[in-house]
Amino acid sequence: MKITKYLMLVVATSTLLFSCKDDSNKDKTTTSVVEENDSNFVWKTEQFADIKIGRYRINSWDKLSLQQKKLAYYLTQAGYAGRDIIWDQNYRYNLRIRKALENIVQNYSGDKEVEDWKNFMIYTKRVWFANGIHHHYSMDKFIPNFSKDYFATLIKDTKTELAPEIVEVIFNPEIDNKKVSLDANNDLLLASASNFYGPDVTEKEASDFYTSKVEKSNNEPLSFGLNSQLVRGANGLEEKVWKSGGMYSQAIDEIIKWLEKAVKVAENEAQGNALKLLIDYYETGDLTTWDKYNVAWCAATAGDIDYINSFIEVYNDPLGYKGSFETVVQINDFDASEKMAVVAENAQWFEDNSTILPEHKKEKVVGITYKVVEVAGESGDSSPSTPIGVNLPNADWIRTKHGSKSVSLGNIIDAYSKAGGGELLKEFSYNEEEIARNEKFNDVADKMHTALHEVIGHASGKINKGVSTEALKNYSSTLEEARADLVGLYYLMDNKLVEMKLLPSLEAGKAAYDDYIRNGMMTQLIRLEPGAIIEEAHMRNRQLVAAWAFEKGQKDNVIEKMVKDGKTYFVVKDYEKLRSIFGELLMIIQKIKSEGDYKAGKVLVENYGVQVDQALHKEVLARVAKLNIAPYGGFINPKLVPITNAKGEITDIKVEYPKDFTEQMLDYAKRYSFLPDEN
């Protein structure tokens, strides 16, 4: 099971887009620090290209003990220490390009009012936001809106070093133009620029390499390939393992240093033991230790501080083996967690009453926990673009035997809401009734769908014995996210949620259905360039579900495509029948997943999730153009600042809220650059 990065789409809902320390001890790079409260907090700081930058608050920080503050601080530092890793994983030249851009920003003294410089800064900020030169969502390479000659001038004037072949990569749209390609018509590895494999390693070679390692009789399979780069060596293919003393050692040793500090202030023995296993994993690269760590981490449910840290997300690998580095540090939101705990407590009821086939249901759902948390800091693949909900661990056998942890990132959801507006809702809703229902119920419905997606969706169903988790290859992530979405959608119109007091009424479910169909059929298309197909897994998932439901329900007019004043709308006419359709598709996708039916999965995704109605897309882009809405959003992280006494001991840790994205990126470059240009 893959970790979920179930992004809160700015296009999906009306509510979204999206220090007391004395100067002698203060980090001199800290700027734009402000004392703010809820009434004057700046939620949105800037907008450029297709990006909206915001900030989030840590509301519970002052309720923590000093020990807990230290734990959160050490864990965030461990995350930032590994920041370089995601850059190198995303593309082999990213670190060199990033350092060149940063040197220019810091040292250029020429005219900064000309359009070329402004375009250079937009390009640089897009690269910072994406952790590389490819778009974080579409996976397409950024092409600068300034000339190669102008760039050469910037390089010369700032004495920046960057090889000519890398400059050519930046400006030539034909070279490494897609970070992750899911186009089954091409060799998935040769068509992808991500740096998980040597540039000459083919899809077949890599698949054969890892398939040969799998023991089909082993009910507790290792996550082969998760923490390594596969390259061609003198004697054939070999793995460069990401560990201390191996690939990325300089950053990993720094991560270990901060994790060792975290162990000393762990809240309890179970938490400390899990951290020790994580350190052991980083030191050895042993995948057996990784599994032991995940089991221990799942069991460590006590305490107010938790974290995600390591090579986890596999969406950036078209074959689904390699984990991207990411961290999220979390503080429990007790009030919200208590209200939502009923979801996890009733996991068995949800499983038993699901529409999936009996042979694909878990007889006993174990170890599920669900919390609403506040993020204290994020790094790697989780920042600046962040998930709103996470469910871990990934391994199906661990989830089945030991359970899983699910979290909703409450302060991130809140920050998205406060930074957004309702223009898209009004533009793409058919009537005032639809708008009013969304405005009244969307917040609770969206949170409930996220909870059901993470807690129940990703924990539901079981894989047949002998079926590899990588059997669905490039379609695995799309189908997994569709499955989890469908679990949530199916239950959002179940009166059981009203009885549990999780929803005020089924009107909330109707609002969620309206929203999902609207987004899957139309509004998420604002993220695509004209003429493009859908390649990102989450977008494929949403269109697959919406388009399949639309087609399936045409006979009974379940969803009607309507045109009013020259504008297209998709209007749900029968919510109960739509619920049944969602349930049917859930059964089909679970069967595909349980049986590892690659051919059936390919047909479903390719027929419903990939192709775009180009005329409709053109209309959507025209309607959105006048709204000046950025389709993507992300965040500047708060800064945790230690207060020390004369002995150098930490006496408190304060939270600062930087306002400037560029300043934070330059600050990170100065303090958290541990890897060499080439790895």
**35 falls in which pLDDT band (50, 70, 90)?**
low
Determine the angle formed by the axes of helices 537-552 and 476-492, rounding to 10 degrees: 50
Q: What is the pLDDT of residue 33?
A: 46
**629 falls in which pLDDT band (50, 70, 90)?**
confident
Lowest mean pLDDT among 54-68, 148-162, 409-423, 458-472: 409-423
**334 falls in which pLDDT band (50, 70, 90)?**
confident
Lowest mean pLDDT among 22-36, 80-94, 345-359, 411-425: 22-36
How much of the chain is in helix, strand and coil states, percent to nearest 5?
45, 15, 40
Count the Cβ atoms, other than its own, within 10 Å of residue 149: 8
Please name the residue that has the structure tokens 């490819």: 134
Q: Distance (Å, rounded) from C-alpha 189 to C-alpha 211?
A: 16
> What letter represents residue 488's amino acid?
G
Q: What is the pLDDT of residue 468?
A: 80
Q: What is the pLDDT of residue 117?
A: 98
Residue whose C-alpha is closest to residue 457's, from 391, 505, 513 = 391
Domain ranges of the chain: 1-50+413-640+661-669, 83-215
Q: Distance (Å, rounded) from C-alpha 539 to C-alpha 303?
A: 36
List, in sequence order, the alpha helices (H) in 285-333. 287-299
Using a pLDDT cut of 90, give the percent of the chain over it.
Answer: 81
Find the mean pLDDT for residues 213-226. 90
Digit-coded pLDDT (tens) for 492-530: 999 999 999 999 999 999 999 999 999 999 999 998 989
Q: Distance (Å, rounded) from C-alpha 155 to C-alpha 151?
A: 6
| pLDDT at position 11 over 60 | no
Give me 405's structure tokens: 């942890």
Digit-coded pLDDT (tens) for 367-390: 788 889 999 999 999 999 999 989
Q: Indicate the average pLDDT of the chain.
A: 92
Q: Based on DSSP, count helices (H) and strands (E) in the chain, helices before strands.
A: 24, 14
**302 falls in which pLDDT band (50, 70, 90)?**
very high
> The pTM is what?
0.83
**419 falls in which pLDDT band (50, 70, 90)?**
confident
Q: Distance (Å, rounded) from C-alpha 117 to C-alpha 567?
A: 39
> What letter represents residue 588's amino acid?
I
Inter-residue contact 342 to 371 (CB < 8 Å): no
Find the mean pLDDT for residues 193-198. 98
| pLDDT at position 43 over 60 | yes
> What letter represents residue 595's amino acid?
E
Alpha-carbon separation of residue 230 from 239, 241, 432 (angstroms): 5, 9, 55
Lowest mean pLDDT among 7-16, 34-43, 102-111, 448-457: 7-16
Q: What is the pLDDT of residue 303?
A: 94
| pLDDT at position 464 over 60 | yes
| pLDDT at position 24 over 60 | no
3-state secondary structure 238-284: EEEEECCCCECHHHHHHHHHHHHHHHHCCCCHHHHHHHHHHHHHHHH
Digit-coded pLDDT (tens) for 557-571: 999 999 999 999 999
Digit-coded pLDDT (tens) for 111-162: 999 999 999 999 999 999 999 999 999 999 999 999 999 999 999 999 999 9
Find the mean pLDDT for residues 609-618. 96
Please name the residue that has the structure tokens 């989830």: 399
Q: How many CA atoms lie within 13 A of 543 on its CB side?
A: 25
Q: What is the pLDDT of residue 57?
A: 96
204 SS3 class:
helix
Digit-coded pLDDT (tens) for 227-283: 999 999 999 999 999 999 999 999 999 999 999 999 999 999 999 999 999 999 999
Q: What is the pLDDT of residue 557?
A: 96
| pLDDT at position 18 over 80 | no
Which class for 615: exposed (0-12), middle (13-18), buried (19 or more C-beta within 10 A)? Answer: exposed
Q: What is the pLDDT of residue 194?
A: 98
Q: pLDDT: is 333 or 196 the higher one?
A: 196
